[in-house]
């Protein structure tokens, strides 16, 4: 049974004049625990729409999203809430996704409290603040941040640190699927590789399924096991990264690859500032 399975997903957006734009057209894919899937394609191909549909930020026109083999709409309310916690999203704009008025510790504690209440493991008030404090430090440690960061506000952190905090916030919810939409494209080139390595390491250590949206083939080459190539809302090709990026069968994939001849090097060379991307 697939951990997450998307079947014939179609998403339509209203257009001025009453027309509809079909941003995704009968898209199907699946991802397993411990596996990472890249979603690539040029700007406007529907990558973010797919990511948002998976986490419920965009309502599909038709098709199904199955978590552990069961469609969300067929689950009870409580089950649906539990599934939603298991599927978390990391955004491109890390700093913008954090509450500017809360310290990192307050943000993470809030997530932990809500999680505990809805899980009915322990109710608000019965859990000692010190227990939350140590969980916060553990979360920060998991994403490679020092304990001092707990007292900081988002504006006091770098873009890379903010992205690590938003990853910690996802981890607080005990996810099984992480959907990351261009998680490093807003970051300095010099920190991109480190954040991607962290993402890969967490995905493997925690056995997460990772859906990584990127217009950057070198990122996908470095981080992902499989890749699907989107064009105008249609998956034109999907398969193992080594197959698709080394022996593409679709002309569109060949076109994307032709624009980045050194994609085979993955992220090697990024530290020298060579950004490899298609857009």
Ligand X SMILES: Nc1ncnc2c1ncn2[C@@H]1O[C@H](COP(=O)(O)OP(=O)(O)OP(=O)(O)O)[C@@H](O)[C@H]1O
Contact partner at residue 44 from Mg ion, ligand X, none, CB < 5 to 8 Å by partner kind = ligand X
Using CB under 6 A, which of 215, 226, 231, 270 touches ligand X? 215
Using CB under 6 A, which of 13, 118, 158, 247 touches ligand X? 13
Rounded CA separation 202/195 (Å): 11
Q: Shortest distance, CB of residue 178 to Mg ion, whole angstroms?
A: 17
Rounded CA separation 154/98 (Å): 7
Q: Which stretch binds ligand X (CB under 6 A): 42-50, 165-173, 221-229, 253-261?
A: 42-50
Does 23 engage in binding with ligand X (CB under 6 A)? Answer: yes
Using CB under 6 A, which of 44, 56, 159, 239 touches ligand X? 44
Burial of 173 (0-12, 13-18, 19+ CB in 10 A): middle
DSSP letter string, 162-190: HHHHHHHHHHHT--SEEEEESTTTTS-HH
Does 21 engage in binding with ligand X (CB under 6 A)? Answer: yes
Name, in order, each residue with C-beta under 8 angstroms of 209's C-beta and a sequence gap of 6 or more. 3, 4, 31, 32, 33, 34, 35, 36, 37, 176, 177, 178, 203
Task: Calculate the CA 260 to chain-centre distance.
Answer: 23
Give the count of alpha carbons within 13 A of 47, CB side only: 28
Q: Which stretch binds Mg ion (CB under 5 A): 48-56, 68-76, 153-161, 249-257?
A: 48-56
Q: Shortest distance, CB of residue 106 to ligand X, whole angstroms?
A: 31
**Token pair for 270:** 């990024």
Q: Which stretch binds ligand X (CB under 6 A): 28-36, 38-46, 121-129, 217-225?
A: 38-46
Does 47 engage in binding with ligand X (CB under 6 A)? Answer: yes
Does 166 engage in binding with ligand X (CB under 6 A)? Answer: no
Number of residues in contact with ligand X under rule CB under 6 A: 12
Does 214 engage in binding with ligand X (CB under 6 A)? Answer: no
Does 48 engage in binding with Mg ion (CB under 5 A)? Answer: yes
Task: Calculate the CA 79 to chain-centre distance.
Answer: 22
Does 231 engage in binding with ligand X (CB under 6 A)? Answer: no
- Residues found near Mg ion in the complex (CB under 5 A): 47-48
């Amino acid at each position: 049974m697939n951990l997450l399975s998307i079947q014939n997903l179609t998403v339509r957006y209203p257009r001025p004049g009453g027309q509809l734009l079909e941003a995704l057209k009968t898209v199907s894919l699946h991802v397993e625990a411990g596996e990472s899937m890249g979603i690539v394609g040029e700007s406007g191909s529907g990558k973010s729409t797919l990511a948002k549909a998976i986490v419920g930020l965009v309502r599909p026109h038709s098709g199904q999203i199955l978590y552990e083999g069961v469609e969300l709409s067929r689950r009870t309310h409580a089950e649906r809430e539990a599934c939603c916690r298991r599927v978390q999203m990391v955004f491109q704009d890390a700093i913008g996704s954090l509450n500017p008025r809360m310290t990192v510790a307050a943000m993470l504690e809030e997530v932990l409290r809500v999680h505990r209440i809805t899980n009915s493991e322990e109710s608000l008030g019965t859990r000692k603040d010190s227990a939350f404090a140590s969980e916060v430090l553990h979360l920060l440690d998991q994403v490679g941040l020092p304990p001092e960061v707990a007292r900081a506000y988002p504006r006091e952190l770098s873009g890379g640190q903010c992205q690590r905090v938003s990853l910690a916030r996802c981890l607080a919810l005990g996810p099984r699927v992480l959907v990351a939409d261009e998680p490093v494209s807003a970051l300095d080139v010099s920190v991109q590789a480190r954040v991607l390595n962290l993402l890969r390491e967490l995905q493997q250590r925690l056995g997460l399924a990772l859906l990584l949206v990127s217009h950057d083939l070198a990122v996908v080459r470095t981080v992902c096991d499989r890749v699907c190539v989107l064009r105008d809302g249609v998956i034109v090709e999907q398969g193992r990264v080594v197959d698709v990026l080394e022996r593409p069968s679709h002309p569109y994939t060949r076109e994307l690859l032709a624009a980045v001849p050194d994609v085979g090097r993955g992220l090697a060379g990024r530290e020298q500032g060579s950004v490899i991307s298609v857009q």
